[in-house]
Structure 1
Amino acid sequence: MYHIRVSEAERDRACAILREHYALGRLDEKELPTRLAAAQLAVTWGDLHALLADLPDIPGMSFFPPVQDPPQAPPFVPPPQAPPGHAWQPHPPFSAPPGPQPSWTGPPAGAAVPDPGRAYDGAVKVSLVLGLFTCGLTWLLAIAFAYMRQHARTQGPYGPLATQASKWIATVFAAAFGLVVVAIGLFGPDGKARDDGVPGHVVELSITSPDGHAVADEMSTWVGEDQSSGNGVPLPYRKVVQGVRSLDGLSVRARSGTNDQTDSPVVKCSITVDGRVVATSTSAGGSDHECHASYSD
């Protein structure tokens, strides 16, 4: 039994025996701490026996645990004897009642056997279809739902992954995730529609004047939501915007001089789309101070 591991109580019993030998004078002050430390670190009965092998037994302090007697078998009681003149009759063996006996041979031929994995068919199909619009992102969901479907089939119809609740949750989750990804792909995180890959128009807004030193006292341009304005802008002025998707609301306006000025220079406002002039406006000069060109398509 020297290979059997010892418990804390057995280590403490060995330490108590060592202290008793120290009290009897068999161990000195140097040996006792060394053996106590080794006893506390002992793993098997063999480790403890090596510490006590050169010491005699102490009456009443046994190193090995007491041996328990095996449990006694209950006394034999003979079976009761039959009364005089009677003999014990054994019970007759069980026999089935007469007639044909029913037996289970499985479901009837042609009967539909429920498929527990069918609960995930809808989620797999929805994820596969949405993957065509999400660059294959929802195909990862389709793989996960296919695994859940196979797991449900191996676990049986009452497996934890084959309930009606999980069926609807999986289907709704796949649809919601796919719609969110589609919306982000089409409109972007800011909710604005994307037209990536579609070439836009090149729009040029210009303000010119025959007078080489003319100045636009007031000017403003609009290209969709892009608006700019200024005061005292030297002419000629040109603004080029590339990648314009919508040509609605193009406008350029300029004013030279003041209302009471009668010798204002002539100014011309022009709008060019893809190299083609689509709108122009020219002030007459003098008391006519403003030009305004606009275009919508």
Structure 2
Amino acid sequence: MLARRTLARIPAQQVVSGAAPQNARNMATLRELELRLKSVRNIEKITKSMKMIASTRLAKAQRALQSGKQYGIANAELFANTTPEEVGKRKLFVVLSSDKGLCGGIHSSVSKATRAAVKEADPESPVMIVGDKSKAQLSRSIPQNIALTFNQIGRDIPTFADAAAVADLIFKSGAKYDSIVIMYNKFVSALSFEASSIEVQTETSLREAPGFQAYEMEDDVVKDLSEFALANALYAALVEGHAAETNARRNAMDSASKNASDMIGRLQMQFNRGRQASITNELVDIITGASAL
């Protein structure tokens, strides 16, 4: 009789000893919420720091933008009086982006505009890309058009030396084209940007322009002028694109910080409710046990 009672108690004791507490699920949930709160707080600190850095760099980028615009104005005045009557359809597209991300859809906008422009001009037009971000995007859609790529440009405020180096490599690439179209992001305001383009005439186009045919010039003069005009246009587009990117990064980090703050509020409320429910369950168990005694 005693043996039967003992054997009957053993499974019951094993079940009780192996059973999880009632609030184990709540404890695991609270632990997960606590870890998630910690990670979101860390993300908020990072995004706020990046916003402050972008705000500091934006002031420098805007000052460079004001000086760089003068190069673009000079080019516009030059080509306003030297545009040839007929220009070939084959164009070389130079896409200006950067190697950095976390700045919203600024790289996607210039890549989308480039795809549309290539489709409208000539599907076989060569494309040269400055920056790894647009390179990765355009490599999926028009890989056969990519003739040359550049990187490590625009880490800081672009200089005229960077633009001159890019222009020199473009002329040495041996690509065939009738005109050059620079695709870049135009700085509109502190809240917006738009994909824009600048068309630069080649050495052959300048020679055939009525404004140049009225003067006798040596071949080297026209060649040097075309190279210098391309470097001017590239520098103006680079500094404007850099300012637009820095501003877009600041806005993106500001939005990310606000979203992280809202998420922290929701998670903290959920954590407090779960903690209060766990405490209430423990009190009910204590009171129930005291009443049973």
TM-score of the superposed pair, with normalisation by structure 1 = 0.22
Which protein has the bigger strand share?
Answer: 1
Q: Which has the higher contact order (CA 8 A, sep 6+)?
A: 2
Flag the structure with larger Rg.
1
